[in-house]
Structure formats: C-alpha cells, structure tokens
Amino acid sequence: MKQALVDDTEDVSLDFGNEEELAFRKAKIRHPLATFFHLFFRVSAIVTYVSCDWFSKSFVGCFVTVLLLLSLDFWSVKNVTGRLLVGLRWWNQIDEDGKSHWIFEARKVSPNSIAATEAEARIFWLGLIICPMIWIVFFFSTLFSLKLKWLALVVAGISLQAANLYGYILCKMGGNSDISKVTATFLSQTVFQTACPGDFQKPGLKGLEIHQH
C-alpha cells in the first residue's frame, strides 16, 4: 500500500510556468510611460482640434499645433510604442532601383524575453483603431459644414494615423497584401479576444522580415 502511494505521487507533475506566464500577461501595465504617450499625442490632437476655436482665434497657431501633435504621434507609435507594447515594428524603404519595400518585424519570444501584457496590447490596438475613425467623422463634418480651411488638416490626421494602422495590421497578420482579407481576419480576432479573453490563447510572436513591392 505504501509503495502504491509512492508511485502515485511520483507520477504527479506540477507545472507552474504556464500559470505564472498567464498571470503575468494579465498583470498591470509594464510600460506606463509608453502607454501614456501612445494615447497622449493622438488624444491631444483631437481635443486641440475640437476646442481650438474656443480658446484661440489664430487659425495658423491651431493648425501648426495639431499638425505637430499628429507628427509626434506618428513617430512615437511607429518607432516606440508598437515595439514596446505589442512587439511589432514596420517601416518602408527605397532600394537602389527606386522600388518601395514594406518591411515588417515581430519580436521573438524567448525564455529570457518578457512578452507584453494583455492590458498594454488592448490599449495599443483600441487607440490605433478608434482615433482614425474619429478623424474620418471630422472629415465628413468639416465637408458638410463647409469649413474647408480645416480640410487639409483633417486629411493629414487621417493619413498619418491610417498609415500606422495599415502598417501594424499587415505586420500583425504576417505581411499579407490582401488588405480586405487581413482587416476582416484581424477584426474578427479582436472581437473574439475582447468577448472571450480567457478562452483565446494568443500565439507567440515569431521573428519575421517580409518585403512587399
């Protein structure tokens, strides 16, 4: 009887590694500064655009301020927050023949590296998707209200933020050039993850480098 008990206990294997990793991914935000600036510049640009007529009568001052915030947002999201919050990076380069190449990279997950948390990823993607939609609303409101002097600024806002959204969606989906298929797949995954976060296991990021013409 004693020997049987010993054999039973020897067959039991407790692995706490996965539980610790899952608990970590659901933990608090690990990069508070990057998370703050991921939302700060784009939200500040929207707030400044909406309220600039109330606080200033200088069109040039408002235009330059909003454009500066949009440019800072584009640079920080493209070069800093995407790499820290979700482990993704993209850029475009021109080769010696004058051809444009899109390059997408995803951070490799190793035992020594630390993955991003779910809270950081959710904040990153929500900010990346919602803000361009707000600028699209501004485009139609500016067009219908005949405030055409603001149209160039709104178009700049849509272009800069949509460029980051486009680049990161392609990077997330592995550089697939079929943008309609990529967008549908990405949105379905995002809705499923939001509805059932505990039932969906996110795949590990693998290193990749994809060139597109």
The tens digit of pLDDT for each residue in 44-84 reads: 999 999 998 788 888 899 999 999 999 999 999 999 999 89
Q: What is the mean pLDDT of the chain?
A: 75
Residue 117 lies in a domain: yes
Across the beta sheet with 88-94, the strand order is 88-94, 100-106, 210-212
Residue 202 has pLDDT above 60, yes or no: no
**Containing H/E element for 160?**
helix 151-172
pLDDT digits (tens, 9 = 90+) for 104-153: 888 765 544 555 688 899 999 999 999 999 999 999 999 998 888 899 99
pTM for this model (two decimals): 0.69
Residue 182 lies in a domain: no
Residue 82 lies in a domain: yes
Residue 204 lies in a domain: no
Q: Which domain holds residue 77?
A: 29-175
Residue 116 lies in a domain: yes
State how many domains the chain has: 1
Alpha carbons 208 and 105: distance in angstroms, whole number = 5
CA–CA distances in Å: residue 186 to residues 31, 64, 100, 169: 24, 34, 25, 7
